[in-house]
Every structure is written in C-alpha cells, then in structure tokens.
Chain A
C-alpha cells in the first residue's frame, strides 16, 4: 500500500513542477508593450513643466523678478514650509520626470536602444541637477527603486554632482558619433532624434554644473570652456521645448488661469528702466500701479507657444564669460564675450540687432576701469537680466554663488522656515519625505546642519 501511495504522491509532485505561478496580468496601458519611446513624450513634457511651472515661479519670487499682488499669502514671503514641495517631488520630479526617464532607461537598455538610453540619461542628469541645486542632498543612488527600496537614503550633494557628471559622460560616450536617429523623431520632442545635439546638450549641462559648484571645486575653468566649445555653437542648437496649444507654456497657463496673481517687481522694472534696456518691452508692460508679465503678444516669455529653453545658448555664453573672467582673461576678451552673450539675449527677446540697440550693448558690455569684483558683478547682473522668463533657477544659482545682483530686503516678517529672513538659500525637504522616509531625511538634515531656508547647501557655501 505504501508503494502505491508513494507513486501517487510522486505523480502529484511532478504535476506541481509543471505548474508555473507566474503572473502575466497586464492592465490596460501595458498592452502597448511598454516601448521605451512611449514614455519619452511624458518625460520631456514633465521636464518642461518643471522648468516653467511652480518651481520657476518659486525661483522667480526669490530672485525678485516677480511678486504677488495683495491676494497672495504665504508663498512669496520667503517663509515656505515643507508641505509646499510635496507635489513637486511626488508629481513633478521623483514621481514625474525622473520616474519616466528612469523607466525609459530601463526599457531602452532591455531593448538595446542605446540612443534612447542616452537621451534618458541626459534627462535624468538635468532633472537631478535642478533638484540638487534647490535641495542639496537628495536621494540619488538609492532612488527610484520602487518596492525594492521604499525608503531611499539621501546622497551628499557632492556625490550627486559626481553621479550627474558620470551620467552625462556615459550618455556622451553612448552617443559617440551617431547622427540623426529617425526612429526617435516622433518621441523626441526636443531634438527629433538628432543625437549630436543631445551630445552638445550633455556637454552644456556639465558646464553649468561645473560653474555652479566652483565655490567648492575650483580650477575647472579650462574644463568649462572646453565643454562650452563642445556644446551649442549657435542659438538654433539650444535645448528648448516646443510649447504649443496642446502643450502650453506653463507661464502662459498661470497667467491665463490665475490672472492678477503675479506681477513684475518694482526692483526689476527699475533695473530695466534705468539702463534703458531694450528688452523692457518683451518683459513687462505697465498696468498701473502694477507691471504685467502676461497678456500682450510681445511679452515673449508668457506666450503660449514660446519654445522655453531648458539650456540656452545665451546661458552658455554667460558661463563662458564668467569662466574667462576666472581664468584672468583680458578686459578685451571679456568685453567681447559679454557682448556676445548680451546680443544672444536680445535675439532671444526677438529684438533686431541694429543701431538702436548698439548703445545699450556697448554700455552693458563696457568693463574698462572696473575693479575685478565689479567686472564679475556686471557679468552676473547682466546674466540676471537676460535670464528673465525662462532661467530663474540659474539666476538663483548665480546669486547664491556670487552674491549678485544685490537684491533688496523685501521687509518680510521672519518666519519659522527662514528665521534670519534672508533671500532663501535652499528649499525645505517635502513633508511627505519627512513622514514616510523620516530616518533618511533626518540624517540628511543633520549632515547639512539643517534644511531651513537660511541653511546653505554644500555647493553654495
């Protein structure tokens, strides 16, 4: 009897081995077989949204380009709490562009699509870069692992920066000498598959990062200049997002949906008026007693379909000017570089380069008889004016790094989040991170001696 039983049980065991308990379930969207290119549109549009929506208005407020009308409370008074950044991380970055770019990279690696891998790396580098400029130490090496690591640790900012540089180098290496990849034309909203431009974009991002961290890591000027040479050589090569009615410029959307919430500051308008800046008409328009950034067709940066630069040619030229400054270049060289940058900015603002603007350009790029500090100040302040509308974050980076322009004391009441009531040096970590990843956030805060708005991140100490 035992023998027979044994045979039966063995038979059952054999059946068992044949049964697979795999799960082939797929929800509606997965039937598209998750082609990495399916995620590319979303990743890029989210990046553009992050670039010009809520984060941009935050930096725009910090850098005193913009200020609220009377109706706004809380946000612009330099006392922003942790809760404010929950959706920025959850929907914008970690749950948005980073998640999409990271997943795209994984799928592209599986599919052997190296060009898509390279593009996703550049996107990741840009987004992580922007996050770390604002938040200092951030989850990086352990981030985006999903349910394999629900509580990622925070990497020190210096490690994040190294990691970003590595990613950009890897991307450039992968791209190699590849040219136009037709299969990416539809998915790649920024460059339609022109891989050499992605390579240039990557070089430009490295240059930006090296400039931003120069207070901690100095002597990289020649590297920066070399990178700029390998980046955009003309304005048409810059990395910009093609906004349209379907993918509206977020600054336009804000103006449309939240009218009379935002205005240009007197401070900024004064700068423009005092120097008779020809870009005045593209930036703002009088609507006494306020200055409107939105509503008229000539206000370039708040039009629905203005292509918003993620990394502009103008910014590279200013970076070049500043790098040349730090190498001790002659005044002539610097004036030429500065002039080039200003001209580029005027072109950004749809102005014709003719005799009308020549006076302004000459005055703005005149560096003779200025002390070293004053030269730097002039360069950075000119960058400040040029970055209006699309590059608030880099303006804020410049400010924290150099101290220029010398912003006004807005006279806010100090708050818990910013006890010394300075122009914010960083953002606080999101409340959701503090709730659900408490240990790691606390470690990061301790390591950086605080996450209040008046605590410095490593890069800008």
Chain B
C-alpha cells in the first residue's frame, strides 16, 4: 500500500514543481486584485462557503448545543433535535441520506481538523444520548462555514460525502485585554403533548357492562365506566389511593380525576461565560471559560458542562506564525428511561388512567418513596408493577454519564517566500465517555427476572496531521493562480469496555458491585486514513474563477485487494455582468453562473465493523431451539477484499445574484448519486461465510437549494434584514443487492423505517388494510376493513421541502428583534404512542368514538360497494371489539401514520444595546436580551413535538414510540464587554 502511495505522491510533487514554473500572460487590466475580492464578497478558498454563524448572532441565544445553533443556517443543511431532554442529540444531514451503514452526517472540522461527532448507545429503549459536538463551547466559536458544492467536498476525499462544517475558533488580537462576560438564565417547559381522555376509568366493557378494574387487577385499559359514576368506599387501608377504593356502588366521596401529565415540571437552565482576549505585537491570546447547566421537563434530567478553551497566536518573525488552541470539556448528565421500555417514563405517565394518582397525594412524590412503593414493599403503580410508576423509574432506574474531552491543535505557517507558504497542522481529539446505570430488581422492564447494572465506557482518541505547501501567483492584476499540495493523515481509535452486571442482590442498589455475575466485553475500532492532494485555483480578470482538485486516499478499512480511492472535483464561477464590463453601470447587481462537479467518498463508522468471531450458537434445524454454547464461532459475515469507501459523485449548477451587501441570492440545482453504498449480500455457505459486506447499493439525491438574503430597509433608526433558505430534495434508493430489496433500519414489527429499493431511504413500512388494485379498501362481512397479510409502505419521513425564514429588525439605535421561523412540509411520522394509547382507551379519540357509527368506504369481498354501518365503540358491545382494539396491540401500522409537517417559531429574541447609555461607556458592548425558543408551533401531528426520533442518529427515522416530549424555553441574557 505505501508503495503505491509513494508513487502517487511523487507524481503530485512533480506536478507541483511543474506548476510553479508556469508562465502566465501579462495583460492590461484596470481592476486591482484587492478591489475585486471585496466587491463580489467571494472567498478564494472556496467560493461556495456560506458563513453560518458568529458568536454575536442573536438567533442562537440560549442555545448551548452547538449542533442546534446550526439550525436554519443554509439551504439543505438539516439539523433536527432527536429529543428535547437535557443534552439530547441532534441529527445533521445535508440534503438527504446517502448511506445505510456508514455516516450520513457532515464532516466537522475544528480549525481545519476533523473532530468526533458520533452518538453512541441510542436505541429503541434505554435513554437519550448526546452527540459529541455538544462538547464544544459556542462562546469559543468565531465562525462556522459550510462547504456544500461538489468541488469543495471533493477536496476532503473520503470524508467529504455529506458536506463539511468548518468551525473556526476565536483568536486574540493586538489590543489591551478585553473581558467579555455573558450570563443567561432560562426556563424550559413542556410543549406539545398527546390529547388524553379524562372521562373514563380503568377497566373494560363486556357486553355493554362497563366494569371498573382497579390497580389490584393489573389490567391495563381505560375502557371502564365514567369517572362520574365512581366514588370511594371508606377503606382507609386501600394501598392505591388515600381516599379508598373505587366502585360504582360506593357511597362516599366522588372519584377524583387525576392528571398524569402533572408529572412534568419546568426546568431551570443557566449559562455563564467569561472570555478574556488581548494581544501584543507578536503574541495574542484568548481564554474562554463557560459553565452550562440544562434541565428539561422531567425532574431529574440534567446536563452540565464546563468548558475551558484557549487560543494563543505567536508570530516570532514575519515568516513564521504559530497558533495553539486547546479545548477542555468536562460534562455529566442524568437521563431518564425512554421509548419501548416498560420502565420508560412516557409509557408510565401516559398509560396511567385518570383514577390513579402516581403521586399518592404527596407534595414531593419524587423524594417520597410512598408515592411509588406500597407498605409491603411492592410497586405502587396503576398496573401492579407491569409498568413502572414514573417516580419509581426516576429513582430506581438510574443512568448517569460523564464525558471528559480534550482537543489540542498546533498550527504553524511558514512563509517561505512571498508567494509560497508551508503549513503544518497537528492535533489531537480525545474523550472518555462513561455511563453507569441499570434497572433495579422488580422494575417493569425486567419483570420476572432480576435487575442489571452496567458500567460502559468509551475511550476515544484521534490524531490528525496536515502538511501543505501553498503557492500563489498574482500576475499583473488579471490572473491569480493558487496551487496547494498537501498530505493528511488521520487516525482514530474507539475502545469500548462494557461491564454488564446481572442478578442484582440488594434492592435499590443499581451498581456493578451489587451484581452476582459481571460480564466484560471489549472491542476496538481503529480507523486510519492517509491522503495526498493537489488543489488548483485560477482566476482570470475578475469574472472567471475556476477550481480543481485531485486527491488519493488510503484507509485501513479498504479491502486487502484495493488500491486506494481517488477523489476529484472541478468548479467554475463566471460573472456575466463583469464579463460584459461596459454594461456594469446599468446593472446594479452581479450575476454569477456556477457549475461544479466532483467525486468523493464517505466515512466509515465503527457500527459498520464486522468482527471475525461471535459467540457460539449451535443451530441449523428450523424446528427446534438452538443451543447456546461456550466459546466462539466464526462470524458468518465477512468484508469484501475489494471494499472501498462509498462514492458520491455529481454536479451542481446554478447562479448567484449579488449586490453591495444588501442582496445576496444563490440558487443551485444538484444531482448527486452515491454508489457502492455498503450493505450486505448473501453468499454461498460453502465459502465458510454466508454474508458479505460489500459496495452494493446506489442512492440518488436530486433537488435544489435556494439561499436568499436581503436588507430591504437600512436606515439610521430602522433596519430590516431578511434571510430565507429553502431546499427541496428527492432521495431515492435505486439499487441494493440482487436478492434483497429491503433492509430494516429502525423501528418495530408493526412499523419500521427501512431501506427499500424504489423508495427514499427511511421509508416507513407496516401493516395496512387490504386494498384492491385501485386502492379501495376491502371490507369484511362484519363491516370492518380487512388487513393485508403483507406489509406495505405506509409513509415517508423525508420532508417534501424545508424552508427557514429569519427576520431581523433594528429599531432605533439600540433595540433589535429577530425571529427565525422554520417550515417543514411533508414527512410522516409513525406515532406508535398514539396507536397504543388508542388501544388502551387513554387517548381523547378513544373517548370520542363512543356513540359514533361509520360506513367504511370500500368494497365488500364480493366486489359490491360497502354499506354496512358499524359502531366504533358500541355501547352494548365489548371493548375487545372496539375499532381501536380489534386490530391488536397498537393497531396496524397505517392507523398511526400522521403528517409531521410544521411551521414553528424556532427563536424569538429581543435585544437592547445599553452601551450607548451615558455612564455605561466603560462597556464597549453591553446588551441584554429576552429570548424564547420553540415558542409556537403549527402542526397536525397529534403527539409530542414532532421534532423527535426514537433511535437518535441511526439511519432510520420517523418513529415515535414513547419518545421524550419537547420543550420550549424562555430566558434572559446579559452580555458585557469591557
């Protein structure tokens, strides 16, 4: 492998030397280089960069997660929260999905060095997790660029596939020490919630007789009698309610209607940041320290983060510039059980019938065990321990994690000549992530078995090395030529150590030390890549810019029989108006046509790794159980010896319209095709393996991005800036392997998000009603629709289009108001929660259906039009026949698909600049702001905030099954600089 590298590299060296001797034509030109660069506001390094955020940006006030600060910044860069609990992760995608097993998120660079942004351990149950970008302190960030064009992504080789987010941290500069202090406080509260019914009690109906079936019966449904028909007897010893037990015949106090949603609280958040910067002639420095504490609507959840960052620049001579940055993060979090998890909080809260009080009348139920434990030590819950009382779960099923992270970077730039400089960058990113938690004995999740405790840790470290020589030639003001030749080496190691303790001995001690058996599992993922590249940029006069790059990468993840991966790209910008120089005075705007083409690759993730062995299982007989044996056997899956990075190629085409800062518009049409998408295919067993991981699939993304920024009003006492970005993307999985056309990504048997040939990635499939070829339902003899035996497509979680509109108003000299509105049109979500709440009779719909009759539109089995009228919840019938119950637990998939489109007011900020007030002049900057996040939303989705994904950053999405609820935040910020 290194031999081939050497020869390629030698070739690129010679190339570079050759270029340095190119003679360029001298031409007369009136335009000077500096003038030209400023006029069109385009950056040399990448004409497609978009500046996304600066620290002073008011839109992101109160948002301490750097990932979420990226929301709505540029067309096609989709950033959505997976959950709104403290520290929960967000998913970043660019335009659409490209990969099944590997990364779908853009590469994140910190000062040019890749940093880790993975999320580990998020699944259908367990807890929410964080993505590692949360460790970065927004106060440290100066600017974030996003490299989106084909030619820009090609420069990054096998990690450029999903775009590149480039974060630059602040630097000091030559001034007297400047201190900035920022303090934010805010409060979070619950936003959307499922509509529950408060009329009917726990129980069921049999042949018209509504029976109250209380907690002692351990029955789950709320198909019982009206609460108004129940009253308490005088049994003061009744453990499930202080008022006594309920019945229709008791004569005492009428039944209380409790609201299980009272469980949710308001969370208090705060952030304090202190920044000192300054500089002398040769040395400048910056130090930032921040502390951040975040809570949400569930009482014990929290995420706390302490950041320390420093940046030191030293320029000993004119030729040499040195930069050192260091970022240290120390964070911890406490998280609740979620999702498909009998100990899950949402499941425990929402399924509780209104006759049961989870608090047991106590004012501090969280810290009073008698709210969740009976006198005899058993569970106090509405279903006798089959689900956990949420207060039990918060106390007895803990999850705590701690992350310590350090990122160090050293950059040296040596100006060898006036037109040639050498850059040397070396950096390290390392973190340790340790999680401790488990499920207590007798918790619902392990009903019938004993509890477990875990200590899971991830040790991550990576090193990065960049060397480049950069040459620039400016010839008589009309030609600017730049060439860069460079080398990059990056290696990462993820080392997992999982300690799983089972058979806990004592109660209320969820700890490895309390486990009888502890199993230790460890694994290691190493990813090494090396690449050599050549970039060329060429500008002619002031109307033509071209860029080209070629890069060869090698990776230890490539198969043994491969020769590396070639990436290349070319881009062109042509300014029509400047070209027609003489007409410049007529057109106040500049119109630039652009085109770019590129081919580049996608990053390997540890989750796609195939181990050589697995635990031994003896099987092969479909009729009898397998035997779990000691020791190991060969993993039937193996990786192709020809495995290469997934390859994305394509073009984008468009135009920019620019004026002098008051208008900027950019439209791009793009057509990308990702080939060699890595997935598995079957093999003949005689080879010893039956599954081969190989480059097999093809995914396409086509659409357009529109970015639009205008300042319609720029006056002394009124200013208005409007930014709009819009994306429409069509994603299609065009091909998988020959025998398989569907791969499970996430979800359940009832409904799942899959990769299905002919549909967008992530499409939802599930149970549907039986329909004929024209799409008409087939109705059974009893008047109810029949169910199709095959699972079909029930929805698509990919949006049709997305748009962000940002308005900033400056009123007077000191007041400013900004608002970010977020539109997501299209995108379905499977609300598994809704389906099960309907099934249990807890939902508002389930109460409303009583007394309703309907004629299902469709054909009978004989082909005639159906005209049978059926009652959806017949009064004289049994609850087991009700429409919402008869199709089984949660109903069939299509019954729970909802449109998750939204219009939301993501951020609203009102700021006042106090620094102009007499007496406050010592402050060079002093602003106070009021802000609200997620203040208002318009959506048809009947559940929690539809910005949610059960399984976090996995490829599959569009699944809501007792996900944690969304929150909105109101707060106040004070920022002072002196």
Interface residues of chain A, those whose CB is within 8 Å of chain B, are 1-2, 4-6, 8-9, 12-13, 15-17, 19-32, 34, 37-43, 45-46, 49-50, 53-54, 86-96, 98-100, 102-103, 138-139, 143-152, 187, 246-248, 250, 253-254, 257-258, 430, 432-433, 435-437
Q: Which residues of A are found within 8 Å of B17, using beta-carbon distances?
A: 2, 5-6
A22 to B527: give the CA distance in the assembly, Å.
9
Whether the Cβ atoms of B611 and A28 lie closer than 8 Å is: yes
Q: Is B38 an interface residue (CB 8 A)?
A: no
A99 to B13: give the CA distance in the assembly, Å.
48
Whether the Cβ atoms of A151 and B684 lie closer than 8 Å is: yes
Whether the Cβ atoms of B420 and A1 lie closer than 8 Å is: yes
A402 to B795: give the CA distance in the assembly, Å.
63
Residue of A nearest to B686 (CB): A139
Whether the Cβ atoms of A432 and B685 lie closer than 8 Å is: yes
Q: Which residues of A are found within 8 Å of B690, using beta-carbon distances?
A: 90, 95, 432
Which chain B residues (1-56) contact chain A, with CB distance < 8 Å?
1-2, 5-6, 9-10, 13, 16-17, 20
Interface residues of chain B, those whose CB is within 8 Å of chain A, are 1-2, 5-6, 9-10, 13, 16-17, 20, 416-417, 420, 422, 465, 467, 469, 487, 489, 496, 498, 521-530, 554-557, 559, 606, 609-625, 627, 629-636, 638-641, 682-690, 692, 739
Per a CB cutoff under 8 Å, which of B13, B523, B524, B554 touches A21?
B554
Residue of B nearest to A151 (CB): B684
Given the known interface contacts A5-B20, A253-B625, the answer about A152 and B687 at a Cβ–Cβ threshold of 8 Å is: yes
Whether the Cβ atoms of A54 and B620 lie closer than 8 Å is: yes
B4 to chain A, nearest CB (A): 11
Whether the Cβ atoms of B632 and A437 lie closer than 8 Å is: no
Whether the Cβ atoms of B684 and A32 lie closer than 8 Å is: no
Given the known interface contacts A88-B620, A100-B633, the answer about A146 and B524 at a Cβ–Cβ threshold of 8 Å is: no
Q: Which residues of A are found within 8 Å of B641, using beta-carbon distances?
A: 147-148
Q: Which residues of A are found within 8 Å of B554, using beta-carbon distances?
A: 21
- In the complex, given contacts A8-B422, A19-B489, A28-B498, what are 13 additional A-B residue pairs having Cβ atoms less than 8 angstroms apart? A5-B469, A13-B10, A27-B523, A27-B610, A27-B611, A27-B614, A29-B612, A29-B615, A31-B522, A31-B524, A32-B632, A92-B620, A254-B624
Whether the Cβ atoms of A143 and B621 lie closer than 8 Å is: no
Whether the Cβ atoms of A144 and B528 lie closer than 8 Å is: no
Whether the Cβ atoms of A4 and B416 lie closer than 8 Å is: yes
Residue of A nearest to B623 (CB): A258
A151 to B465: give the CA distance in the assembly, Å.
42
A57 to chain B, nearest CB (A): 8
Given the known interface contacts A19-B530, A23-B556, A144-B688, the answer about A30 and B611 at a Cβ–Cβ threshold of 8 Å is: yes
Given the known interface contacts A5-B469, A42-B632, A42-B633, the answer about A31 and B523 at a Cβ–Cβ threshold of 8 Å is: yes
A43 to B618: give the CA distance in the assembly, Å.
9
A9 to B422: give the CA distance in the assembly, Å.
11
Q: Which residues of A are found within 8 Å of B631, using beta-carbon distances?
A: 37-42, 187
Whether the Cβ atoms of B556 and A99 lie closer than 8 Å is: no
Given the known interface contacts A5-B20, A13-B9, the answer about A49 and B621 at a Cβ–Cβ threshold of 8 Å is: yes
Q: Which residues of B are found within 8 Å of A103, using beta-carbon distances?
A: 634
Whether the Cβ atoms of A95 and B636 lie closer than 8 Å is: yes
Q: Which residues of B are found within 8 Å of A92, using beta-carbon distances?
A: 619-621
Best-buried of B554, B632, B683 by chain A (most CB within 10 Å): B632
Given the known interface contacts A53-B621, A95-B688, A100-B633, the answer about A150 and B683 at a Cβ–Cβ threshold of 8 Å is: yes
Residue of B nearest to A89 (CB): B685
Q: Which residues of B are found within 8 Å of A86, using beta-carbon distances?
A: 685
Given the known interface contacts A23-B528, A150-B692, the answer about A435 and B625 at a Cβ–Cβ threshold of 8 Å is: no
Residue of B nearest to A251 (CB): B624
| The 9 nearest A-B residue pairs measured at CB | A27-B611, A92-B620, A42-B616, A437-B684, A91-B620, A139-B686, A144-B688, A54-B621, A23-B556
Q: Which residues of A are found within 8 Å of B496, using beta-carbon distances?
A: 28
A28 to B616: give the CA distance in the assembly, Å.
13
Q: Which residues of A are found within 8 Å of B1, using beta-carbon distances?
A: 21
Whether the Cβ atoms of A45 and B688 lie closer than 8 Å is: no
A150 to B639: give the CA distance in the assembly, Å.
11
A31 to B9: give the CA distance in the assembly, Å.
37
Residue of B nearest to A248 (CB): B627
A46 to B629: give the CA distance in the assembly, Å.
9
Whether the Cβ atoms of A23 and B526 lie closer than 8 Å is: yes
A268 to B856: give the CA distance in the assembly, Å.
59
Whether the Cβ atoms of B692 and A250 lie closer than 8 Å is: no
Best-buried of A30, A98, A246 by chain B (most CB within 10 Å): A30
Given the known interface contacts A1-B20, A41-B631, A99-B633, the answer about A150 and B687 at a Cβ–Cβ threshold of 8 Å is: yes
A147 to B612: give the CA distance in the assembly, Å.
12
Whether the Cβ atoms of A247 and B525 lie closer than 8 Å is: no
Whether the Cβ atoms of B632 and A29 lie closer than 8 Å is: yes
Whether the Cβ atoms of B624 and A98 lie closer than 8 Å is: no
Whether the Cβ atoms of B687 and A42 lie closer than 8 Å is: no
A48 to B530: give the CA distance in the assembly, Å.
49
Q: Which residues of A are found within 8 Å of B5, using beta-carbon distances?
A: 16
Chain A to chain B contacts (Cβ below 8 Å), 18 pairs = A9-B16, A16-B6, A22-B556, A27-B612, A27-B614, A49-B619, A53-B624, A91-B619, A91-B620, A96-B618, A96-B620, A100-B634, A103-B634, A146-B688, A152-B686, A187-B631, A247-B629, A250-B621
A197 to B346: give the CA distance in the assembly, Å.
62
Q: Which residues of B are found within 8 Å of A253, using beta-carbon distances?
A: 624-625
A5 to chain B, nearest CB (A): 6
